[in-house]
Amino acid sequence: MRLAKTPLLMIRLVHCAPPFISNDDQPLCDAVEQAIRPCLCCKKECWYTIVSAATHELGYMPGEAGEQEALSTLKSIRQCVIENCAQVCLK
């Protein structure tokens, strides 16, 4: 039963992930999008930063080794959004 949940969670993670550009030369949001949707851009930045750090540390996408890994990454993303995006998203 536990194995059946893990692939479903990973599929959700992929479909819920905001799109990001892995090329460091390009911003996650352009100036227009940043002006129109600063909250979304902040959340994208959290997602990209946390997932990139976890991928670098693990050597693979978080969640590939189990549900707990994916949940830990999602908790870190949530904490980033709470700490860094609260003021932006309340406006």
- Could you report the per-residue pLDDT of 10-30, keeping only the tens digit for each? 333 333 444 444 455 567 899
Tens of pLDDT, residue by residue over 47-56, are 999 999 999 9
- What is the rounded CA–CA span in Å between residue 80 and residue 78? 5
- The widest CA-to-CA distance across the chain, in whole angstroms, is 46
| CA angle at 59 for the pair 55 and 63, rounded to the nearest 5° | 60
Please report the pLDDT score of residue 66 as a whole number. Answer: 93
* Residue 52 pLDDT: 95
> How do residues 33-86 score in pLDDT, each as one tens digit?
999 999 999 999 999 999 999 999 999 999 999 999 999 999 999 999 999 999
